[in-house]
Amino acid sequence: MFIGSYDYNLDTKGRLVIPSKFRGEIGNDLNVYLTRGFDGCLSIYKEEDFEKVVLKYQAKSYEKSEVRKALRSFLDSVVQLSLDNQGRILIPSKVLEKFNIGNKVHILGAIDHFEIWDYSKWNDEESSIDDEFEINAEKIFSNEE
């Protein structure tokens, strides 16, 4: 499970060191999938969890315009990456540019994947989500018994 958060810097080639705790979660399968995330971040999935996301899309009706558009946008952003011997991934420069990810990043565990945020974008997001935590948690859990 990916939990916790870390601040890192990309090197001049766009390589990012994956936190050792997350590398342990990835295990022996050194291939991961980078996709567009929600709210302006990038998401990294292990292969088995990426397949689960794809299956969710496949379960939707492709005849619906919003399904096709969401699937196309999702698939257009997918990049299969391999961890090198030093536990780094090389994020393509076109991805960094498209999603406005600078050299300083915030890495956030999100249970079945982890997110990569531009550091300053994360600071704005963090402020918003911290302010709304109790309201959102109440909405999420209020229907459970």
Please state, in angstroms and rounded to a whole number, the distance separating the CA atoms of residues 55 and 15: 29
| Span 66-100, pLDDT tens digits | 999 999 999 999 999 999 999 999 999 999 999 99
| Span 36-63, pLDDT tens digits | 999 999 999 999 999 999 999 889 998 9
Residue 47 near residue 31 (C-beta atoms within 8 A): yes
Position 144 scores a pLDDT of 65
Please report which helix (H) or strand (E) contains residue 3, including its range.
none
Position 17 scores a pLDDT of 96
Position 27 scores a pLDDT of 84
Average pLDDT of the chain, as a whole number? 93
Give the start-to-end residue ranges of the domains of the chain. 5-119
Q: What are phi and psi of 12, to 5 degrees?
A: -65, -20
* Whether residue 127 has pLDDT greater than 60: yes
CATH fold of 5-119 reads Chemotaxis protein chec (3.40.1550)
